[in-house]
Amino acid sequence: MNQLYWGPGVRRINTWYRHRFTRQLDLFPDKLADLQGAVLKVSTFNHAPCNFLHRAENGTVVLFYGTDVETVKAVARALNFTLEFLETPNGETWGGMYENGSWYGLMGHLQRHEVDIGLANLFITQYFLQVISLTAPYRTETQLLAKIFNYTQVSGFLIRVEPPLPHWQALAFPFNKWTWLGVVVGLIISGPVLFLFAWGSGQCIDK
Q: How confident is the model at residue 160 (pLDDT cuts 50, 70, 90)?
A: low
Predicted confidence (pLDDT) at residue 206 exceeds the cutoff of 80:
no
Same domain, 25 and 69: yes
For residue 147, being part of any structural domain is answered with no
Is the pLDDT at 38 greater than 60? The verdict is yes
Do residue 112 and residue 168 come from a single domain?
no
Position 148 pLDDT exceeds 80: no
d(CA 52, CA 32): 28
Bigger pLDDT: 149 vs 133: 133
CATH code, 83? 3.40.190.10
Which among 137, 141, 119 has a CA at the least distance from the CA of 46?
A: 119
Q: Please indicate, yes or no, if residue 195 is contained in any of the structural domains.
A: yes
The answer to whether residue 152 sits within a structural domain is no
pLDDT of amino acid 76: 92
199 and 103 together in one domain: no
Cα-to-chain-centroid distance, residue 81: 16
What are 183-203's pLDDT values in tens digits? 888 888 888 888 887 777 766
pLDDT at 131: 77
pLDDT exceeds 80 at position 174: no
pLDDT for res 147? 56
**What are the strands, taking DSSP E only, across the chain?**
16-17, 20-21, 38-44, 52-55, 61-65, 81-87, 117-119
Give the 3-state secondary structure of residue 117: strand
Phi, psi of 40 (to 5 degrees): -110, 130
Single-letter code of the amino acid located at 198: A
Residue 124: its pLDDT value, please? 73
pLDDT at position 161 is 62
Average pLDDT, the chain: 77
Residue that finishes a domain, picked among 83, 109, 141 = 141
- Do 71 and 165 lie in one domain? The reply is no
Q: Give residue 188's domain range.
A: 160-207
Total domains, the chain: 2
pLDDT (average), residues 123-142: 73
- Confidence check: pLDDT of 17 > 60: yes
- Residue 36 sits in the same domain as residue 126: yes
| Same domain, residue pair 34 and 127 | yes
Cα 112 from Cα 131, distance rounded (Å)? 10
pLDDT tier, 135 (very low <50, low <70, confident <90, very high otherwise) = confident
Whether the pLDDT of residue 103 is over 80: the answer is yes
